[in-house]
Structure 1
Amino acid sequence: MTQKWRFAPHDESQIRGLSSEMRISPLLAQVLIARGLRDALSARSFIDARMSELLEPCSMPGVEQAAERIIAALNEKRRITIYGDYDVDGMTATSILLQCITLANGQCDYFIPNRLDDGYGLNCDAVRELYEEDPQRLLITVDCGITSVKEAALAKELGLELIITDHHQMGEAFPDADCLVHPRLPDSNYEFPHLCGAGVALKLAWAVCQKLGDGQKASPKMREYLKCAVGLAAIGTIADVVPLLGENRILVRYGLGALAELAPLGLQELMKVAEIKSGQTLDTEDIGFALAPRLNAAGRLGQARLAVELLTTNNQDRATQLAAYLDELNKNRRTVERRILKQAREMVEENEEWNDHPTLVLAHQDWHPGVIGIVANRVAEHFEKPTVLIALDANSRTGQGSARSFAGFDLHAGFSSCAAHLIRYGGHQAAAGLKIEEDKVNDFRLAFAEYAVSAPQPSDHDLQVRIDAEVCLNEITKQSVRELDCLGPFGQENPRPQFVATRVELAEPPRTMGEGGRHLSLVFQQHNTKIRAIAFGKGEWASQMEEDGGPFSISFAPGINRFRGFESVQLQLKDWVSEKSKTPVTS
């Protein structure tokens, strides 16, 4: 499937009118109109995105009851345990509630399941162990639990008080916990359903702070804490790839600012090893490509507790030590990832019959279960199919799988249709996980492919790349890029503006860069304007572009490259077409 460019309609009079009324450039006006913000009122509201627009925490289902139970546990001086998850969303959610309860002078600790031994979410062994250690404790899940029916029933049987906070896809039955906190519970009137686990945890912490204050406002100490907590929620939101619209965009916008001023000690050290300059305003790319992978490496390699410790420690030496260790883990993760990706591609090439399947299910005994999710995403993009990678365990004869979608395919619905072949599964439309018996893998492969044949097929819209405007390269200046940044922060469902320029030449031969030549560095020229560009993960384009020779039509997202104190415009090349052959290249 080749993605095609879909240009937004161009209405010159509408662009001039909005540009004049808002006193903005025609380019920004054109992008606003292309994104459905056609009048000054809606455009200004989107650009301003104020913190006051966040919904009241107690309007979320279950938050008020959960906050009251936490306050009661604090007053009774009972232990409160946060049961988290091993991804960045779970780590930041755990840290948010841990700090809130600790600052309220509560006795608080946390439990993060080991990705390799325990798997995802609540498990009965952990519930029993926590109960036996302290039967009076209050157990609060973050970023997990909404499908843990059996585990919640065990907690109820034992008499262990359980609050479940989550944002994931719900099953047919709900866990019988003492309190459920979820933005999409049935009969909910909560207006924004797309918060991540850290966003849900922030709303609960906010409600606790209100109740510890005068009922509406938190104390000065807790207000300062909440500013820092917004920064942690921003990290979880970006890392979990939820839509950066509505409340999520507001949290990330102000959270990035908070991280520049109030980053926890451990994050400050992590920024140093990631070579992010102290005090600089962060953007979503800094989180998504520098900080989140280092935090995630700990969870992927079975050491998520260390990431939570990094986010919450007040010890300078320990923060420095942990940041260096997480950086080393991330380097190890990248090595493992490259090996798995090579093996996955070879498996597909060796099994030609899989070319006819609308999905891919790959399994191997040498794969690391903590890394396969990243690789599944790359395989899905490369082969343009929903992909499941399964790490098999020779001892238990079972496998842990991670899946990534393509072109809007609903993974959770697909797994539900194949439930008879699975031990368990969970997740949502775009990303999901499973556990399976080794001898059921082929049956699952065939059933999953069969479901995909009958499932709703990708529409033309799903396979098209939205282009905000056609431009000349001389329009892409530092000033225009900075003006476009008011549409950020950018991410899922609110991408950086994407443009097309035609009749563009290569000013010099493209060259590969990065580990294994994965990335591509280029210099484009159009008339007298030259601009540098980079194409991430597209090193193979170098020979193709040199062979075609141009001129090209290019699709790109512009940004500012900051290096050693200097700033320059840099294009992120998304796609290109040789104007000689008119053959589109898959994005």
Structure 2
Amino acid sequence: MRWKRHPQRSQAAEHYAREFDIHPLTAQLLLNRGVNGLEQMRTFLEPRLEDLTDPFLMRGMETAVRRIRRAIVRGERIHLHGDYDVDGLTSTSVTLLALRRLGALVDYRITQRHDASVGLSPSALKRDHLPQRPDLIITVDCGTSNLEAIDLAREQGIDVIVVDHHSPGPRLPRCAALLNPMQPQCGFPFKGLAAVGVAFTLVRGLQQFLANDDRDWPDLGVAELTDLVALGTIADVVPLVGDNRILVREGLDLLCSARRPGICALMRSAGLLSDDSTATSLRDRLNARTIGFRVAPLLNAAGRMGDASRCVDLLTTDAFRTADAIARELESINLARQQCEREIVQQATRVAETFVHPETNALVLADATWHPGVLGIVASRLADRFHMPVIVTSIDERGLAKGSVRSPETIDVLSALHGCRDLLETFGGHRVAAGVSFRAEHLETFRERFNSAVTAQLPDGTARDQLLEVDAHVRLADLSSRLLSELERLAPFGHGNPEPVFESRDVQPLAPRALGGDNLKVRFREGSQTVQAFGFGLASRGNDLRARVDILYTPRHAQSRRSRHLELVLRDIRSHHPDPDAAE
């Protein structure tokens, strides 16, 4: 584990600390995350919906809102087609609720995992849409690469609007409008939106466009949709900066009010909401991490193990009884998913270990018995364990290996896949997460080529040396209640906005002991200050705590029955060295 210390910009930090009446360490953290300048700082510290990017900067927006208005006025039938993950389900729900409020004749379909291709495939078009003869299809979280199906829809006289965020290939779909900030010549400056963020941008565009119309239209209440936008944005692990930060901050506040029946049912199933919960108590428990690890998996399980359409019913219903019934169904499905996942993780880990050699910087695994619905989670688990990009696939009866790619943030797997595209049937996604399919007979060749493509991105030739970025050196006595409260203002934390990591040197460990699940509990003393710390997965490091140490950690407020107190979440431990740079 290498520690990479951010350069300390004391003068700039002091300047912004005075301007915003914040602790210099808070200002240093913002500078470390690339937030610079008074307006950027203000927007980061005080995000507002009014600060969102103008929706009409997105290429195709004017055409899209005009076509949707025409469909509603003429009473045309509109179909939505969404992907089966949480981003696709929330995108579908946001668009569906907005169009229903406008009085549209709208229905929806969700991609089935067993379809031949992701998104709107020709078979899905024929099965889910053509029998009902819609006049307009709006794809959400898919469509950019579904060229064949969109051409087929055009031949049938059906217009298609694509609402997506995936990187396009060399050809764009021939659709009525393409809303995708990643498309060429798109002037929308923020490129990191999840699909639900693009869908929300479309709703904002409709709101603005119809506000100047000669007809009277109902208000879309865009702020009331931010709970769904936050859920999809967090689940898709996009950077929590820019527009995404604004959307998630607003959405988390709305989630804590527990107004939407489907959201209440999900939080109850996840153990976050009880009959005596208040908005204040929910705020203590609800954050990007609990959404990502406890709420989102309940929705993802349906798409992984079967049909995710019920999730849209859950997210859009006004009836608490209906929501509770669907949430209980999802709990059962998720239990089956967890069992399936555990078994495949164990199998895949054993297989992966046989391929890990000094020259291995990426893993490509395939098995005909692995359930395709859990491959993304399995790939994530293995990428965390082996600290390298991992592809996990299932081979179907046609000899097609199809699965998921996950990677540490230091590797651009989409670029690596582009370098192997002659061996691939399909691929697409993002820098650290993608989907892929290839012929099973190409497995060995692809494994070698993908490993070489990843290795080429590494300056030192190895992906396995984990890097921890250190925000600042801090004395334990400096961790005041005021500082911790300011650090909480920097949330939501996640991809693009990591939790703060501080370093304290030459501290004395006291009474270390192992807890269940390979966890560690220990107290640290520096001068007169003593602080309790927990190290998750660090029980094996107990031998490092026999003498004074340097530690990396994230400070946080912990809640006891009587009060809030300081607690450290350990990230790493090493023997104290008087010269920290020499210890690297």
TM superposition score normalised by structure 2: 0.90
2:428 corresponds to which residue? Answer: 426
1:239-267 CA distance string (max 9 Å, x none) = 11111111111111111112223642110
Aligned length: 574
1:529 aligns with 2:533: no
1:242-253 mapped onto 2 (5 Å cutoff):
242-253=238-249
1:508 aligns with 2:501: no
- Aligned mate of 1:312, from 310, 316, 331: 316
Q: Distance in 2 between matches of 1:322 and 1:507?
A: 48
Q: Distance in 2 between matches of 1:220 and 1:388?
A: 47
**Identity rate, percent:** 34
Task: Indicate if the aligned counterparts of 2:518 and 2:539 stay in contact, CA closer than 8 A.
Answer: no
Compare 424-433 and 36-45 and name the one that shifted more: 36-45
1:398 aligns with 2:396: no
Q: Distance in 2 between matches of 1:35 and 1:476?
A: 20
2:176 corresponds to which residue? Answer: 178
2:486 corresponds to which residue? Answer: 483
Q: Distance in 2 between matches of 1:362 and 1:583?
A: 39
1:411 corresponds to which residue? Answer: 413
Task: Indicate if the aligned counterparts of 2:8 and 2:28 stay in contact, CA closer than 8 A.
Answer: no
Compare 572-581 and 334-343 and name the one that shifted more: 572-581
1:106 corresponds to which residue? Answer: 104
1:106-134 CA distance string (max 9 Å, x none) = 22111111224455211101112344312
Q: Distance in 2 between matches of 1:43 and 1:362?
A: 44
- Aligned mate of 1:272, from 261, 268, 272: 268
1:255 corresponds to which residue? Answer: 251
Q: Distance in 2 between matches of 1:518 and 1:438?
A: 38
* Counterpart AA for 2:482: Q
Task: Indicate if the aligned counterparts of 1:231 and 1:263 stay in contact, CA closer than 8 A.
Answer: no
- Aligned mate of 1:47, from 29, 45, 48: 45
Q: Distance in 1 between matches of 2:491 and 2:419?
A: 38
Q: Distance in 2 between matches of 1:256 and 1:472?
A: 32
SS in 1 for 2:220: helix
1:210 corresponds to which residue? Answer: 208
Instruction: Using the TM superposition, give the Cα deviation of residue 324 of structure 1 relative to its aligned residue in structure 2, in angstroms.
Output: 2.3
Structure 1's 40 and 451: CA in aligned 2 closer, same or farther, altered over 3 A?
closer
Task: Indicate if the aligned counterparts of 2:142 and 2:166 stay in contact, CA closer than 8 A.
Answer: yes
Task: Indicate if the aligned counterparts of 1:82 and 1:141 stay in contact, CA closer than 8 A.
Answer: yes
* Counterpart AA for 1:173: R
Structure 1's 518 and 55: CA in aligned 2 closer, same or farther, altered over 3 A?
same
1:83 aligns with 2:101: no
2:556 corresponds to which residue? Answer: 559
Q: Distance in 1 between matches of 2:55 and 2:263?
A: 26
Q: Distance in 1 between matches of 2:188 and 2:215?
A: 21
Structure 1's 518 and 267: CA in aligned 2 closer, same or farther, altered over 3 A?
farther
Task: Indicate if the aligned counterparts of 2:361 and 2:451 stay in contact, CA closer than 8 A.
Answer: yes
1:454-507 CA distance string (max 9 Å, x none) = 446479999643222111223224432111122222221111221111223433
Q: Distance in 2 between matches of 1:172 and 1:384?
A: 32
Q: Distance in 2 between matches of 1:330 and 1:316?
A: 21
1:346 aligns with 2:370: no
Task: Indicate if the aligned counterparts of 1:523 and 1:533 stay in contact, CA closer than 8 A.
Answer: yes
SS in 2 for 1:111: strand
Instruction: Using the TM superposition, give the Cα deviation of residue 36 of structure 1 relative to its aligned residue in structure 2, in angstroms.
Output: 4.6
List gaps (5 residues or longer) in structure 2.
Answer: none
SS in 2 for 1:69: helix
Instruction: Using the TM superposition, give the Cα deviation of residue 10 of structure 1 relative to its aligned residue in structure 2, in angstroms.
Output: 4.9
List gaps (5 residues or longer) in structure 1.
Answer: none
* Counterpart AA for 2:485: R
RMSD over aligned Cα atoms: 3.0
Q: Distance in 1 between matches of 2:143 and 2:199?
A: 13
Task: Indicate if the aligned counterparts of 1:113 and 1:121 stay in contact, CA closer than 8 A.
Answer: yes
SS in 1 for 2:155: helix
TM superposition score normalised by structure 1: 0.90
Q: Distance in 1 between matches of 2:12 and 2:179?
A: 44
Instruction: Using the TM superposition, give the Cα deviation of residue 521 of structure 1 relative to its aligned residue in structure 2, in angstroms.
Output: 4.5
1:112-162 CA distance string (max 9 Å, x none) = 112244552111011123443122431110111111122222112222211
Task: Indicate if the aligned counterparts of 2:521 and 2:535 stay in contact, CA closer than 8 A.
Answer: yes
2:63 corresponds to which residue? Answer: 65
* Counterpart AA for 2:307: Q
1:246-303 CA distance string (max 9 Å, x none) = 1111111111112223642110111122222442334222322221122222222223
Structure 1's 427 and 531: CA in aligned 2 closer, same or farther, altered over 3 A?
same
Q: Distance in 2 between matches of 1:203 and 1:40?
A: 26
1:143 corresponds to which residue? Answer: 141
Q: Distance in 2 between matches of 1:116 and 1:525?
A: 56
* Counterpart AA for 1:452: V
Compare 227-236 and 413-422 and name the one that shifted more: 413-422
Task: Indicate if the aligned counterparts of 1:147 and 1:170 stay in contact, CA closer than 8 A.
Answer: yes
1:465 aligns with 2:468: yes
1:329 aligns with 2:326: no
2:539 corresponds to which residue? Answer: 542
1:578 corresponds to which residue? Answer: 575
Q: Distance in 2 between matches of 1:497 and 1:459?
A: 28
Q: Distance in 2 between matches of 1:437 and 1:74?
A: 44
Compare 104-113 and 202-211 and name the one that shifted more: 202-211
SS in 2 for 1:571: strand
